[in-house]
Amino acid sequence: GNLQVLDGQNKVFWSSNLSHDNASNSSVAYLQDTGNLVLYSNKREGIIWQSFQHPTDTLLPKMRNGVYQDTNKRHEVVRSWKSPSDPSSGRFTIGMTPRRPAEGFVWDNGRPYWRTGPWNGNFFIGLPRMYYWVLIHGFTLQNDHKGLPTLMFSSEDPAVMDHYVLTHDGVVLHKEWNKTNRNWDILWKSIDSDCDVYGKCGPFGICNPREPRMCRCLEGFEPTNYEHDDLVTEK
């Protein structure tokens, strides 16, 4: 009743790790049109495991991305690969915050690395272009059975194939399939410069990627580290 991936020596490389109570000798695996791999119990009477609840580095249409909480090891969050060629769990995770208004974050080993800004009921206010994405892709924010926010998107045009991916170095990419060139075009990325990184210049710093030295202090503050100029404090 368990899904397993075996290596060349028939050793288990990966397993769905279902308990004997949930697993069945007559389970059936079914790949849905959404890309969700579902494991059903006898005669497809109930779902006992599905890949959409165990995402890796990619968010597909109709897949929900939940709240990242390190304390209870929630699965429903997108997690980066360790490297471009190593699909094991990497440093970065993207998910929603439990507080209201909800907000999306990328975490670097639990530390904030990038943020979307709060959800205003239609889109994240820190992502100006998201207003147009909502019209095309239909983003929705709903609470799960525990009352925690989950984010989902689905394209209104079935001919459009797109997804979001969290790279090994913490960048969120929005990709769309180009039928003419037969490759994935990058429509948007979360980080264009170092100034897009959360708190790049410290709590009292201003970041400008066009300046020779990106970080400078607000009036009345000065750098505490003249070598890096990324942490500032009051005079």
Three-state SS for 54-72 is CCCCEECCCCCECECCCCC
In whole numbers, what is the pLDDT of the chain averaged over residues? 83
What digits encode the pLDDT tens for the residues 121-172? 878 888 877 656 665 567 788 877 777 888 888 877 778 888 999 999 999 9
Q: What are the φ/ψ torsions at residue 166 (nearest 5 degrees)?
A: -100, 115
Q: With the CA atoms of 34, 137, 123 and 103 taken in that order, what torsion angle do they form, in degrees rounded to the nearest 10?
A: 20
Q: What is the pLDDT of residues 32-47, one digit of tens each?
A: 988 999 998 876 678 8
Q: Which amino acid belongs to residue 79?
A: R
Cβ density class 65-79: b for 16+ within 10 Å, e for less:
bbbbeeeeebebbbb
The better pLDDT of the pair 60, 154 is held by 60
User: Global pTM?
Assistant: 0.83
Cα–Cα distance for residue pair 118/151, rounded to 1 Å: 13
**Structural domain boundaries in the chain:** 1-54, 56-189, 194-234
186 or 203: which carries more pLDDT confidence? 186
What span, in angstroms and rounded, lies between the C-alpha atoms of 90 and 82? 4
Give pLDDT tens digits for 64-115. Answer: 888 765 544 555 789 999 999 999 899 999 988 888 888 999 999 989 999 9
Q: Rounded mean pLDDT of 8-29?
A: 77
Q: Is it true that domain 56-189 has CATH number 2.90.10?
A: yes
Banded model confidence at residue 229, pLDDT cuts 50, 70, 90: very low
**pLDDT reported for residue 42:** 73
